[in-house]
């Protein structure tokens, strides 16, 4: 395991996970200004002066990717349903070489579970489909939803897991075993999507498959990659700016903090964080590496990158992040 995080986790028996990350980041769980401090730590748009430019660029690049998909040798199938809710759709990007034996990449967008959509990340789909992968970019419901249809993080996690199972089953081929039929599956997410990638790495795929009427192997996902993700939600719940929309209960914090779970049994986890991220992001990554130990195959802080530029590098063919995904996908 490679590690170059700025933070170290020194545990006190019985301390809540969020105490550990706050302390590792240089804060105090009992400080009177804790809420404001956490809001600052997690306010990526304020910490990166040109954040809005990145968001506009992603939207523009995605529009161009959709328009130019066929010319790039990519067949786009938009808005494929994976569940009954209006938010449960996914865009599928198929390589020109055919999807029959292509590995599957599922990319999960960020936005703190409350913003953005699959339409902002089509450029990821075309970048990897053009190299031979079958790529799926799912939508999911956004917090807080509406009074008649409230949305929380546990619901989103289940939606994304369903999208992966349905996408993988759609591409399953004849084989001697369930694992052989489903082939290579890699999930990757940025920010909140990185959190969801960690959740997926511990998913009971066989159990979910039975609920969906699908024959899904326990080892469905071989690798999960998180780009500046989040692994304990207690500290996020204590920052009022995010909690206003997320409404994380104590139960939701427990159920959706993968750093509190047993390490994945079947999935290798890869945690990458921009070196220019806030101390809390580095503490989050130190925590998952400490808790999951050997199952964290990669734990790196990437020089010169912040919360938005690390996402930008994913689709850049000459970047280390892009090369890593291609290696995992074997394309």
Asked if residue 279 is part of any domain, the answer here is yes
Asked if residue 36 is part of any domain, the answer here is yes
pLDDT in tens, 82-129: 999 999 999 999 998 877 789 999 999 999 999 999 999 999 999 999
Half-sphere exposure of 191 (CA within 13 A, CB side): 22
Contact 199, 164 (CB under 8 A): no
Contact 35, 239 (CB under 8 A): yes
The helix (run of H) or strand (run of E) holding residue 215 is: none
Q: Residue 209 is part of a domain; what is its CATH number? A: 3.40.50.1820
For the chain, the domain total comes to: 1
pTM over 0.85: yes
Q: Residues 134-161, buried b or exposed e (16+ Cβ, 10 A)?
A: bbbbbbbbbbbbeeeeebbbebbbbbbb
Place of tokens 């890869």: 270
Asked if residue 8 is part of any domain, the answer here is no
Could you give the CA distance from residue 291 to residue 285 in angstroms, rounded to a whole number? Answer: 10
Asked if residue 35 is part of any domain, the answer here is yes
Asked if residue 25 is part of any domain, the answer here is yes
Domain limits at 105? Answer: 17-329
Question: Dihedral through CA 127, CA 128, CA 130, CA 136, nearest 10?
Answer: -100
Could you give the CA distance from residue 122 to residue 11 in angstroms, rounded to a whole number? Answer: 41
pLDDT at 98: 74
Asked if residue 9 is part of any domain, the answer here is no
Contact 42, 277 (CB under 8 A): no
pLDDT at 11: 45
Asked if residue 3 is part of any domain, the answer here is no
**Can you spell out the DSSP letters for 101-121?**
T--EEEEE--STTTS--GGG-
List helix spans (H) across the chain. Answer: 17-24, 34-42, 44-47, 51-67, 122-129, 153-170, 178-182, 192-201, 205-212, 234-237, 240-246, 250-255, 279-292, 309-312, 320-329
Contact 101, 109 (CB under 8 A): no
pLDDT at 6: 43
Q: How buried is 112 (Cβ within 10 angstroms: 0-12 exposed, 13-18 middle, 19+ buried)?
A: buried
Contact 62, 111 (CB under 8 A): no
CA 104 centroid distance within chain: 15
* Structure token pair of residue 130: 């053009």
Q: Which regions in the chain score pLDDT beneath 70?
A: 1-14, 172-181
Q: In terms of Cα–Cα distance, which of 260, 269, 233 is closest to 112?
A: 233
Asked if residue 244 is part of any domain, the answer here is yes
């Amino acid at each position: 395991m490679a590690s170059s995080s700025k933070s170290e986790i020194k545990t006190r028996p019985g301390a809540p996970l969020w105490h550990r990350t706050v302390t590792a980041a240089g804060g105090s769980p009992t400080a009177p200004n804790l809420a404001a401090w956490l809001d600052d730590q997690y306010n990526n748009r304020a910490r990166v002066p040109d954040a809005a430019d990145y968001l506009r660029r992603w939207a523009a690049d995605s529009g161009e990717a959709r328009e130019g998909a066929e010319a790039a040798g990519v067949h786009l199938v938009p808005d494929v349903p994976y569940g009954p809710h209006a938010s449960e759709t996914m865009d599928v990007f198929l390589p020109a070489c055919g999807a029959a034996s292509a590995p599957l990449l599922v990319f999960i967008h960020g936005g703190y579970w409350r913003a953005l959509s699959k339409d902002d990340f089509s450029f990821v789909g075309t970048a990897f489909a053009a190299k031979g992968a079958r790529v799926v970019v799912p939508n999911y419901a956004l917090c807080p939803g509406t009074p008649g249809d409230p949305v929380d993080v546990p619901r989103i996690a289940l939606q994304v897991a369903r999208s992966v199972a349905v996408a993988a089953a759609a591409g399953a081929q004849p084989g001697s075993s369930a694992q052989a039929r489903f082939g290579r599956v890699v999930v990757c997410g940025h920010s909140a999507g990185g959190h969801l990638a960690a959740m997926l790495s511990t998913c009971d795929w066989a159990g979910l498959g039975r609920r969906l009427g699908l024959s899904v192997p326990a080892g469905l996902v071989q690798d999960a990659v998180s780009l500046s993700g989040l692994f304990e939600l207690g500290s996020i719940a204590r920052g009022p700016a995010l909690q206003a929309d997320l409404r994380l209960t104590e139960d939701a914090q427990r159920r959706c903090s993968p750093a509190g779970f047993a390490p994945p049994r079947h999935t290798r986890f890869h945690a990458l964080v921009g070196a220019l991220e806030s101390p809390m992001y580095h503490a989050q990554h130190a925590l998952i590496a400490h808790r999951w130990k050997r199952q964290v195959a990669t734990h790196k802080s990437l020089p010169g990158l912040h919360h938005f530029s690390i996402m930008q590098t994913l689709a850049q063919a000459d970047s280390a992040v892009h090369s890593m995904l291609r290696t995992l996908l074997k394309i």
